[in-house]
Amino acid sequence: MRIVIAGGGTGGHLFPGIAIAEEFLRRDDQAQIIFIGTRRGIESRLLGQLGYELREIDIEGVKGRGVKALMKGVYQIPKSMGQSRRILKQFCPDMVVGVGGYASGPALLTAHWMGLPTAIAEQNAVPGVTNKILGRFADKIFVTYEQSRSFFPQSKVIISGNPVRASFSSGKRKEKVAKTHRQLLVFGGSQGAEAINRSVIEILPQLSRMKDDIHVLHQTGQRQLEDVKKAYEQSGIQAEVKAFIVEMAQAYADADLIICRAGATSLAEITAAGKAAILIPYPWAANDHQLKNAQALEAEGAAAVIPERELSGSKLFGVVEDLLRDEKKLKRMEENSLKISKIDAAATIVDACMHLMTEKNSNL
């Protein structure tokens, strides 16, 4: 098989694409898979490390930007479609899957007009602008939430869940070795989150009282890396501080408690790994979807939620201390988290894609 995964920009779009690629390769280890993305997105930094080839196109977002940026973005659309056409003609894919992000638009539209089988994957309850448009053209639409159906042609929609890389599944992990400490994993998405970094720094003096019992792995993003490192050094807490964590599956596996945002992909990974989490939703997410995502996990007893407007060092420490001191409560949250995971999402998507490829080929 020859498969194109188009999109990215952020980890929330890219990682589901990697999960889909892994599932195609599991079915056919000779499958050839390339990604179409941009040099500005996370894909340009990460895909090579994971062994995937990236073909770049020139496209930027236009929503919510000034007139000059808007004009530049609009001007790039025909150029990016020309670039997409050259890539697709050269690679001759059997299937093109869009996973959201600016690059998925030109690639999917071009693939549609070339008569190739196409599909899109939507991670959030409320789709972004690109996927709303692409839904009119794609052959199949894979959604995470039931409420997403209303945004797309009903006959095309399959509720698949959000695909997660196989290494994140709790069933794929080795048995935990006995530990003398609790592992705390802190991250704010692929770029970091200033509010989370700041709040964790605030609780370090109190957390230092537990320094013999905890270890922290903290992804800060590049901008605040040195400040956060210095704060941990001064606190005396054992911590590994990184701008970006490449081996995220291992980080989940080792974690006893996670503090993070509530993006759809992060939550899919948390539940697949069967982990307890303190969620601090990004308050400016479109349609406040991160808060809704977080509240859904909280309602299932899988997470605690602190809206950013209520976030303070004292409140965060209170929740962290409560969970780390209560083994039974933490265990219940882990069990509830695993119960609501959809670890077969990638398989559902690839099953439908393979059926679509067979169907289209038989009609040629």
Q: Confirm if 166 and 22 have CB atoms less than 8 A apart.
A: yes
pLDDT at residue 361, as a whole number: 75
> In a 3-state reduction of DSSP, which class is residue 110?
helix
User: Cβ–Cβ contacts within 10 Å for residue 73, how many?
Assistant: 17
Rounded CA gap, 40 and 42, in Å? 7
**What residue ranges do the domains of the chain occupy?**
2-164+343-362, 170-339
Q: Tokens in use for 99?
A: 């996973």
Element spanning 86, H or E = helix 67-91
| Per-residue pLDDT at 287 | 76
Report yes or no: 227 and 243 within 8 Å, Cβ to Cβ: no
Residue 222 burial by Cβ neighbours in a 10 Å radius (0-12, 13-18, 19+): exposed
What is the model's pLDDT at position 76? 82
pLDDT value at position 73?
63
Distance, in Å, from the CA atom of 352 to the CA atom of 356, rounded to the nearest integer, reads: 6
- How many helices and strands, by DSSP H and E, does the chain display? 13, 13
Which amino acid is located at 244 in the chain? Answer: F
Tell me how far apart the alpha carbons of residues 165 and 108 are, in angstroms, rounded to a whole number: 23
Q: Quick one: tokens of 196?
A: 């989370």
The CATH code for residues 2-164+343-362 is 3.40.50.2000
Q: Residue 219 CA to chain centroid, in angstroms? A: 15
Which DSSP string do the residues of 144-200 spell out, in sequence order? Answer: SSGGGGGGS-GGGEEE------GGGSGGGSPPPPP-SSEEEEE--STT--HHHHHHH
pLDDT of the residue at 124? 86
| CATH dotted code for 170-339 | 3.40.50.2000
**What is the per-residue pLDDT for 71?**
63
Q: What is the pLDDT along the chain (364 residues), one digit of tens a residue?
A: 999 999 999 889 999 999 999 999 999 999 999 999 999 899 999 999 999 999 999 987 655 555 565 566 667 889 999 999 999 999 999 999 999 988 999 999 999 999 999 999 999 888 888 899 999 999 999 999 888 899 999 999 999 999 999 888 865 555 555 577 899 999 987 777 999 999 999 999 999 999 999 999 999 999 999 999 999 999 999 999 999 998 899 999 999 999 999 999 999 999 999 999 999 999 988 778 899 889 989 999 999 999 999 999 999 999 999 999 999 999 999 999 999 998 999 999 999 999 999 987 777 6
Identical fold at 2-164+343-362 and 170-339? Answer: yes
